[in-house]
Chains A and B, each alone.
Chain A
Amino acid sequence: MINVLEIAAPTLEWMLLSPLLVILAAACLGVLVEALVPRDLRYVIQAALAALAVVVALGLTVLNWIQAAPQIAAMGVIAVDGPAYLFWTLLLVFGLGGVALFAERGVGAGQSAFASSAATVPGSPLEREADKLRREHTEIFPLLLFSLFGMMIFAAANDTLTLFVAVEIFSLPLYLLTGMARRRRLLSQEAALKYFLLGSLASAIMLYGVALLYGYAGGFQLADIDAAITAGAGSQPLLLLGMLLTSVGLLFKIGAVPFHAWTPDVYMGAPSPVTGFMAVATKTAAVAALLRVFYVGLGGLRWDWQLLFAVVAILTMLLGSTVALAQNDIKRLLAYSSIAHAGFILVGVVGAVQAGDDVSLSSVGAIAFYLLTYGLATFGAFAIIMMVRRAGGEANNLDAWKGLGRRNPVLAALMTVFMLSFAGIPLTAGFVGKLAVFASAWAGGYGWLVLVAVVMSVIAAFFYLKVVVAMWFQDADEAVVGTVETPSLWTWSVLVVSAVGTVVLGLIPGGILGLLADAAQFIR
């Protein structure tokens, strides 16, 4: 029988949680702005508000990182430790990129990439009306912030229940954003539907895993689970099943085989800014959560899950790199590439080299760096994808990219840089990322896995080159050629930052890598 509850007023570390709170407050404020501010002003205010909020949160995060000691905050719900700061910073940086891409109105006849009125039936007079009136959804910014908020919690969640709630917090806005593309709306809505159904399935399964883990450990906190495992109490089947089911949800969010099915469709259907943001931020958050859950909570089981993840990683890399070869739609191609990257990241996860061990580069640091490089390249690539257009919409078919090197060498060169970074060619950040991940995996005693991963990355390199070849070595077919529209400052800034970052991190990664390596100590 349950004993009656005795309540002690909970305590909150306001300063430590301030980044989260700032984002949340800004999101709520955004909703109010939607309700109160006249339509013409909304866009400016919302964009500014979102950008400001993210910047402030970033500042606070860094401030805390510098001065505050790592600790468990908010009654053990959120662990504000090195990795948390690390991934928060990453997420916020990516969030900033997302805001910038969302705010882009320079391309496409001065209209954003989002539907003028998502509630209207595609092709209906209502929709035409809305287009004519140049309506636009400025809700996208609050949605972005909400999802960012969820991701930040996800990355720092110290108990499994919070983990689940966070998943939903950041997924639901993304589902909606996915369905809001301005063009090819049927496709977009369909993508949203698929994303939603599969996503909620995954989170439901994960929730069941959480329940089982709770049943095993009698508590939600990762520390409890860890303690229970070390104590060896409880029934093992419960534990193992719980671990499996929990990993499903996380792997889904990462986009690992066999839970990758949503990726290509969603990437293709969602508006490019959303795709860019989703591809990067979701992966980052999910990887962060995965690391925390499995290193902190289920560290005792590592011999079980290392092998599991090794297999998953291999499958993921294999499928991602091979299927991508067949793609002709650049967004689809990037989708499969992101699957492949998920595989490479998992290789790092398998390594499971703790910062405690006498290795200067822990898995967490390596993976964080990998995510950073991947994020930069992805944002850059999607910024360019937004710029290459024809007939009003984006020209996502590779044919439209042929001869881009002729028409716009600078852009083509940038795209090449990003592609090379994806492929992990030296002198780009991607190379250092791969090296770091592989090194940590090998140090963790998984040399054979590294070997496989390398073979895969050779295959992967092939389809990135397909893009490069199309741009430089193939002549444009006038019928389908895409023209480059010069975007506003927003996208340019994203583009420049990504490019510079990719090159600089490729040449002198020392500083950042050091930062990451130092920060990679989990606490329970």
Chain B
Amino acid sequence: MNPEGYLVLSAILFAIGVAGFLLRRNAIIVFMSIELMLNATNLAFVAFANYHGNLDGLIAAFFVMVVAAAEVVVGLAIIVAVYRARRSASVDDANLMKF
């Protein structure tokens, strides 16, 4: 089976993720777009696994999930801390270090 379609889809998702990262200002949403990128990658992994007919890609998807989860935990912790400290989750408000 050819992975073309899935790849295109995953590429699109990935692109959306990047765009979201670059355009959105709310830290949570920025962060979500990163997760979207990771999942787009997962799709690519699975598609390739199917294409090559080996399991590596599927296993990779598992690892990526785990890593994504870990990222979520750490990220949420940081974002919430910032959010509570300055009552705003906008990355534009995080500007103490502009110079």
Chain A complexes with chain B: yes
Q: Are A193 and B34 in contact (CB under 8 A)?
A: no
Residues of A with C-beta under 8 A to B31: 197, 200
B59 to chain A, nearest CB (A): 8
CB distance from B35 to the nearest CB of A (A): 9
List A contacts of B60 (CB < 8 A): 161, 210-211, 214, 220
Which residues of A have CB within 8 Å of B19? none
Those of B84-99 within 8 Å (CB) of chain A? 84-86, 91, 94, 96-97
Give min CB distance, A173 to chain B, whole Å: 8
- Residues in chain A near residue B34, CB distance under 8 A: 197, 200-201, 204
| A-B interface, 8 closest residue pairs, ranked by CB to CB distance from nearest | A215-B48, A218-B52, A204-B37, A211-B44, A190-B94, A265-B97, A168-B67, A172-B74
Write the nearest CB–CB distance from A152 to chain B, whole angstroms. 18
Interface residues of B (CB under 8 A from A): 3, 7, 14, 17-18, 21, 27, 30-31, 34, 37-38, 40-41, 44-45, 47-60, 63-64, 67, 70-71, 74-75, 77-79, 81-82, 84-86, 91, 94, 96-97
Q: Which residues of A contact B44 (CB under 8 A)?
A: 208, 211-212, 215
B64 in contact with A186 (CB, 8 Å): no
Q: Which residue of B lies closest to A216 (CB)?
A: B48
In the complex, what residues of B have CB within 8 A of residue A214's CB?
45, 48, 56-57, 60
A208 in contact with B67 (CB, 8 Å): no
The complex places the Cα of A189 from the Cα of B82 at a distance, in Å, of 6
Question: Which residues from chain A sit less than 8 Å from chain B, CB to CB?
Answer: 1-3, 5, 118-119, 121-122, 161, 164-165, 168, 172, 175-176, 179, 185-187, 189-194, 196-197, 200-201, 204-205, 207-208, 210-212, 214-215, 218-220, 264-265, 268-269
For B78, the chain A residues whose CB sits under 8 A away are 175-176, 179, 189, 192-193, 196
**Residues of A with C-beta under 8 A to B64:** 164, 207
Complex: how many Å from CA A362 to CA B67? 35
Q: Tell whether, in the assembled complex, residue B27 and residue A165 are in contact, meaning their CB atoms are under 8 Å apart.
A: no
Which listed residue, B40, B45, B51, B56, touches A219 by the CB 8 Å rule?
B56
A208-B40 in contact given A193-B79, A214-B48 (Cβ < 8 Å): yes
Query: Which chain B residue shows the least CB distance to A217?
Result: B52
Bound together, the chains give a CA A197 to CA B91 distance in angstroms of: 10
A-B contacts, 14 of them at CB < 8 A, read A175-B78, A176-B78, A192-B81, A193-B91, A197-B91, A200-B75, A204-B34, A204-B41, A205-B37, A207-B41, A208-B40, A211-B60, A215-B47, A220-B60
Cα of A185 to Cα of B44 in the assembled complex, Å: 40
Residue of A nearest to B45 (CB): A211
Across the interface, do A2 and B79 meet the contact criterion of CB distance under 8 Å?
no
20 more contacts with CB within 8 A, not counting A196-B75, A208-B14, A208-B37, are A2-B50, A2-B58, A164-B64, A165-B67, A168-B70, A176-B74, A186-B85, A187-B97, A189-B82, A190-B96, A193-B27, A193-B94, A196-B78, A201-B34, A211-B44, A211-B45, A214-B56, A215-B7, A219-B54, A269-B97
